[in-house]
Amino acid sequence: MGISLKTVISLLLAGAAVATSKSRPLASRYRSQAKAASVESFKEDATGETSGTFYFPSWAGAYLNTSDVTSATGTFTVPTISVPPGGDSSTNYCGCAWVGIDGVTNLCDGALMQAGVDWCIQDGVASYSAWYEWWPAEAQQFWDDVTVSAGDVITVSVTASSTTGGSTTLENTSNGQSASYTWSGESPDLCEVTAEWIVEDFTIGDGMVAFADYGSVTFTGNSAVVGGTTVGLDGAYIAEMVSTTDGSDVISESTISGNDITVTYQ
């Protein structure tokens, strides 16, 4: 009662403006956000580089920068999360880990195909969910019958069958439960130029969420299909999450050892 059509239209327009705004601020560990139903995980621009390590505002991990990438797979343990030192337990602190294709904006002005797990902690309660996303469409919760908790070992893969479709599977290797989703006729197209394994300070509404202390996340068993051949991380680039474009304030650091990637909260 009492809400005019004009108000409804202006609210819809305001919502549309937020939804289409894809620029984002630099990372902050202490930014406060209301709790929301779903994550929005973004493509990212590398903002600087030092000898093969590229700086990103809200990503850490690693990526292959090549061509003809059609699949990426990785396994990680869902981390136990906590309020960062000096934080406020009533704030909603979150983050996510995912595997995807074409997330680096500098290299692909197209879709990002991804799936992973997000986590949040507020008022002492930690929550987790699994999702998939064909960016810029919003992330979708994977399924209701599988719940994710700290300590679960999750294997995620995304596979492109064309530049406008493909599939993703997310499996709890601890109990073999898995779920899949198939994309078709999606837009925009994939470029198929990167495969990435990322921990992200994702966005809720129009800002990055306050970033939870996740300790560290190690992606193991990582592989990608490049030019029809399964490859490991040889020649992968490191992504480091920094709050400054010169890379001086590292929020999450990444290291590669063989085919494993460890991302550590700083």
Catalytic residues: 200
Q: Other CB atoms closer than 10 Å to residue 11's CB: what's the count?
A: 11
Nearer to ligand NAG, 152 or 200 (CB): 152
Nearer to ligand NAG, 120 or 148 (CB): 148
- Cα–Cα nearest to 210, from 20, 78, 48, 36: 36
Question: Taking the complex as a whole, how short is the minimal distance between the CB of residue 122 and ligand NAG, in angstroms?
Answer: 21
> Which positions touch ligand NAG (CB under 6 A)?
46, 54, 65, 104, 106-107, 146-149, 152, 172, 174-175, 177, 237
Strand blocks (E) in the chain: 48-50, 53-56, 59-65, 69-77, 93-101, 112-122, 125-135, 140-141, 153-162, 165-172, 177-183, 194-200, 203-204, 207-208, 210-211, 216-226, 229-231, 237-242, 250-257, 260-265
Nearer to ligand NAG, 63 or 183 (CB): 63
Nearer to ligand NAG, 63 or 202 (CB): 63
Question: Taking the complex as a whole, how short is the minimal distance between the CB of residue 174 and ligand NAG, in angstroms?
Answer: 3
Question: Taking the complex as a whole, how short is the minimal distance between the CB of residue 210 and ligand NAG, in angstroms?
Answer: 25
The span from the CA of 111 to the CA of 47, in Å, is: 20
Question: Taking the complex as a whole, how short is the minimal distance between the CB of residue 87 and ligand NAG, in angstroms?
Answer: 27
The span from the CA of 159 to the CA of 132, in Å, is: 12
Q: Other CB atoms closer than 10 Å to residue 264's CB: what's the count?
A: 16
Locate 217 and state its tokens: 């996340």
